Amino acid sequence: MLNSKDLRFSVCAWGIFLALFALGACAPAATKTLPPIAVTVYHTGSSTPGVQATASTPVPPTETPVAQWGPDNFPENVNPLTGETVDPAKLKRIPIAIKISNFPYSVRPQFGLSLADAVFEHLAEAGVTRFTAVFLQNDATKVGSIRSARFIDTEVAPIFGSLLVTSGSSLGTMGHLRASPWFAGENLWRLISEETHYVCPPLCRETPDDTNTLFASTEALRTATAAQGSNTRADLSGWAFTVAAPSGGIPVTEVLVDFSSAAHVSWRYNPVSGRYARWQDKDASGELIAHFDALANQPITAANVVVLFVNHQNNFVPEDFRDGGNCGLEIQLWTIGPAKVFRDGQLFEGNWQRDETTKWKLQIKGGAGEIIPFHPGNTWFSVVTLNATGTLAGSTYAVTNKVPDTRFECPVPPTETPTLTPEGFVAPADTPVP
């Protein structure tokens, strides 16, 4: 017989058994392994066609961030000036900054502009513009026509650690260049000019006494400076590049830059090529035509267009002696100022900065201090005055420059009044002949 204690144990045991049995009977069958879900990834910010977001819709995985080269992490085969992959040997060379004329109209089309990694367009004097074109990645068999330097070149050349190639300079500008640590003393070899005793090659004048017929080749320029050990890789940190545009851009498909009443430029974005085509004045009529490169026989385009708003001051150095004369400008490309970056058909607002914190390199930054990346390829910089105005109308951004007065107090020596001499006049001898 079971006593009461044994009976209670037996009942409890059977109860546990029955409970376990019931749970096993109600358990679902094993779930089959499902095939992986196919996921289509779209560009960030775009909607997924045909899918309505609901509480049960799976969250798509986050896209892998787009790789960015720069401002410091450039592999040995990536050009820090274009973000493009090139032969590393080409990057172990000194960059070459060449002054190229844009006025008078007869100097167009120029040679070699489309092959430059970066080009700075700036006021020279009296509302006309001139280029400083920087070459590293590409070689050009003919570049020019080459004209005289301006004060801004004492800033541009050190940014890139480059040679400066110029036809010459006014006395004031040449003195300014020679006083710059980049060209002073034993460094004068970096200033390639007829005035620093460079001849042909590398500087070859096609027509004697014609100021607009001086040309050079990048190969000849490198050969002429090879003895100074110029073929070493320069420190070109500071810029960044991404294939995909960053977020926050404003759609802009045309950039108009009115440098003056005589100098008008239009950059027109082509969504197929992803590049901006350059247009400028055909002549004094103001009609715009596509700007061609006579060397490459192709239109000039840019992957990026950057407008730099920079303080301009009359430097009181006579540069132009026509119509009463004009002085040049000190374009103060240091400290900080507004900048507009145009890439991939979009406008990005930011600031340019060049000071000790950037190691005197030129950087373009966003509002949070981040580097605004360029699209891989060449970049054109339009340097306008600090008080130039910019307006956005639809998909067009227009810049109207404020040309500084470079006539007032410009110390141009007055032209001597010519003495009228009758035709056929013969001066009498000091001593009359008997």
Contacts of 40 (CB under 8 A, 6+ apart): 48
Q: What is the pLDDT along the chain (434 residues), one digit of tens a residue?
A: 444 444 343 433 434 333 333 334 434 444 443 333 333 332 333 333 333 333 334 444 444 455 899 899 899 999 999 999 999 999 999 999 999 999 999 999 999 999 999 999 999 988 999 999 999 999 999 999 999 999 999 999 999 999 999 998 889 999 999 999 999 999 999 999 998 989 999 999 999 888 999 999 999 999 999 988 766 778 898 999 999 999 999 999 999 999 999 999 999 999 999 999 999 999 988 899 999 999 999 999 999 999 999 999 999 999 987 766 889 999 999 999 999 999 999 999 999 999 999 999 999 999 999 999 999 999 999 999 999 999 999 999 999 999 998 888 888 776 554 444 444 434 444 443 33
pLDDT score of 412? 76
Q: Count the Cβ atoms, other than its own, within 10 Å of residue 313.
A: 13
pLDDT digits (tens, 9 = 90+) for 114-153: 999 999 999 998 899 999 999 999 999 999 999 999 999 9
**Rounded-to-integer distance, Cα 289 and Cα 146, Å:** 22
Helix (H, G, I), strand (E, B) or coil at 274: coil
Domain 88-400 has CATH 3.50.90.10: yes
**Rounded-to-integer distance, Cα 256 and Cα 258, Å:** 6
How many CA atoms within 13 Å lie on the side-chain side of 417?
A: 1
Among residues 367, 361, 362, 405, the alpha carbon closest in space to that of 383 is found at 362
Quick check: 167 and 194 in contact, CB under 8 A? yes
Among residues 257, 303, 250, the alpha carbon closest in space to that of 276 is found at 303
DSSP assignment of 119-186 equals: EEEEEEETTEEEEEEEESSS--S-EE-B----TTHHHHHHHHT-EEE-S---HHHHHHHHHSTTTSGG
How many CA atoms within 13 Å lie on the side-chain side of 329?
A: 25
pLDDT digits (tens, 9 = 90+) for 397-432: 999 999 998 888 888 776 554 444 444 434 444 443
pLDDT digits (tens, 9 = 90+) for 259-271: 999 999 999 999 9
Strands 254-258 and 275-281: unpaired
Which position has the token pair 């002085």?
A: 327
With a threshold of 0.85, does the pTM exceed it? no
* The token pair that represents 65 in the structure block: 């961030």
Helix (H, G, I), strand (E, B) or coil at 11: helix
pLDDT digits (tens, 9 = 90+) for 10-33: 433 434 333 333 334 434 444 443
Any idea where the domains of the chain sit in the sequence? 88-400
* The token pair that represents 377 in the structure block: 């390829």
- Cα–Cα distances in angstroms (integers) from residue 367 to residues 44, 345, 370, in the given order: 21, 20, 7
- Cα–Cα distances in angstroms (integers) from residue 272 to residues 208, 275, 276, in the given order: 45, 8, 11
